[in-house]
C-alpha cells in the first residue's frame, strides 16, 4: 500500500491536491480523526482491492489538539517501514491572505482577529509537520496544471524530488527587472534579431530567431557557463532547504534573446534533474505589433 499524507497551510491547495490524487486513482479521505489513522491504515492494508493500493489522507489545523499525535504515529509507521510519504503544501503569507480575501472565508485560527494573525499561529502549530515532510511544494506561483504535474511526478512516475521548484523567467529590461527574481542574467550582449526586418515581429520560440541568437558561438559558450553555474547552485540551494528559485533572463524587450536563452536553460534542466520546473515569458508579447 502506498500511503500519502497531504497536509499544509490552510489555503495552500490541500483540497485541490486531494481531488487530483483521487483522479489519479488514490483512495482519499480528508480530515480523518488522527487517533483513527493507524487503525484505518491497517484496515485498508488488510483489505483486497484497488482501494488498498494507493491511499491519501488529508490532515490540517482542523485536527486541533489531536494534531501533535500524528508525529508519534508517523514515527511508528516509519519504524515499521510502512510506505508513507508526507506532502506539505505551503504558500507565502501574501498569497494566502489574498486567497482568503478573494473567497471571503475566515481563517480557522483567526477567530475575530485578522487573517495574518491566524496564519502566524498556524505556521507555529504546523512547523513539526513541515520538518517531517518528505515533499514540500510552494503553491504561491503555481497554476492548477502545474500542481497536477508535480503530483504526477511525485506519486505516479516515482521520481525523486528535491523540494525545489524552479521558475525560468524571460523578461525585458525596458519593462523592469522581476521583483521576485533570485538570479538575474543579462543577455543583451548577444546578436539582436530586433534589427532584422523579417525577425523583428517574431519571438525566441521560433527557430529562425533562435538560429540568429545562437550564431557565432557566443551564445553557446555563455550557455555552457550558465549550465555549469546553475548545476553547481541547485544542490546547494536544496541543501539549504530553499524551495522556490526564480531564474530571470533579460534582454532589452524580452521577446528574442531572453526567450531563446531561457528556453535553452529550461530544456537543459528538464533533461537532467527530476525537479519542479516552469518556463515563463513575461514580456514576449508586450508591445508586439498586431499581424
Question: Average pLDDT for consecutive 10-residue bins of the chain (291 residues)?
Answer: 88 91 87 87 71 79 84 86 88 89 76 80 89 89 85 68 79 94 96 94 95 95 96 85 87 96 94 77 78 47
Total-model pTM: 0.59
Q: Would you state the CATH architecture of domain 2-155?
A: 3-Layer(aba) Sandwich (3.40)
Domain residue extents for the chain: 2-155, 165-281
Residue 291 is predicted with a pLDDT of 47
Yes or no: say if 216 and 222 are a contact pair by the CB < 8 Å rule. no
User: From the DSSP assignment, how many helices (H) and strands (E) are in the chain?
Assistant: 9, 9
The pLDDT tens digits for 58-110 are: 988 888 888 888 888 888 888 887 888 899 999 998 998 888 888 777 777 77
Cβ–Cβ under 8 Å, residues 247 and 230: yes
What does the pLDDT read at residue 66? Answer: 85
pLDDT of residue 155: 79
Residue with grid cell 510506505, as numbered in its chain: 83
pLDDT at 244: 81
Q: Taking the CA of residue 158 as centre, how many other CA atoms within 13 Å lie in the half-sphere pointing to its CB? A: 2
Q: What is the pLDDT of residue 288?
A: 64
Secondary structure percentages of the chain, helix, strand, coil, to 5:
45, 20, 35
List CB contacts of 35: < 8 A, sequence separation 6 or more.
66, 69
Amino acid at each position: 500500500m502506498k500511503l500519502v499524507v497531504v497536509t499544509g497551510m490552510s489555503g495552500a491547495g490541500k483540497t485541490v491536491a486531494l481531488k487530483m490524487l483521487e483522479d489519479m486513482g488514490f483512495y482519499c479521505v480528508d480530515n480523518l480523526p488522527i487517533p483513527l489513522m493507524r487503525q484505518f491504515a491497517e484496515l485498508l492494508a488488510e483489505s483486497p482491492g484497488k482501494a488498498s493500493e494507493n491511499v491519501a489522507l488529508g490532515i490540517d489545523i482542523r485536527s486541533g489538539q489531536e494534531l501533535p499525535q500524528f508525529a508519534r504515529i508517523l514515527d511508528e509507521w516509519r519504524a515499521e517501514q510502512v510506505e508513507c510519504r508526507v506532502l506539505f503544501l505551503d504558500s507565502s503569507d501574501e498569497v494566502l491572505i489574498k486567497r482568503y480575501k478573494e473567497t471571503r472565508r475566515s481563517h480557522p485560527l483567526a477567530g475575530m482577529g485578522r487573517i495574518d494573525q491566524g496564519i502566524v499561529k498556524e505556521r507555529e502549530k504546523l512547523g513539526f509537520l513541515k520538518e517531517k515532510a518528505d515533499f514540500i511544494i510552494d503553491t504561491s506561483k503555481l497554476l492548477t496544471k502545474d500542481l497536477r504535474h508535480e503530483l504526477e511526478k511525485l506519486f505516479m512516475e516515482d521520481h525523486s524530488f528535491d523540494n525545489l521548484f524552479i521558475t525560468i523567467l524571460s523578461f525585458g529590461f525596458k519593462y523592469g527587472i522581476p521583483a521576485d527574481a533570485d538570479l538575474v542574467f543579462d543577455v543583451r550582449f548577444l546578436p539582436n534579431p530586433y534589427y532584422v526586418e523579417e525577425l523583428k515581429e517574431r519571438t525566441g520560440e521560433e527557430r529562425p530567431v533562435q538560429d540568429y541568437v545562437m550564431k557565432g558561438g557566443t551564445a553557446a559558450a555563455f550557455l555552457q557557463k550558465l549550465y555549469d553555474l546553475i548545476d553547481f547552485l541547485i544542490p546547494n540551494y536544496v541543501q539549504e532547504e530553499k524551495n522556490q528559485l526564480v531564474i530571470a533572463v533579460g534582454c532589452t524587450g524580452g521577446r528574442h534573446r531572453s526567450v531563446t536563452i531561457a528556453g535553452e536553460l529550461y530544456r537543459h534542466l528538464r533533461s537532467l534533474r527530476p525537479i519542479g520546473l516552469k518556463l515563463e515569458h513575461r514580456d514576449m508579447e508586450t508591445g508586439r505589433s498586431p499581424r
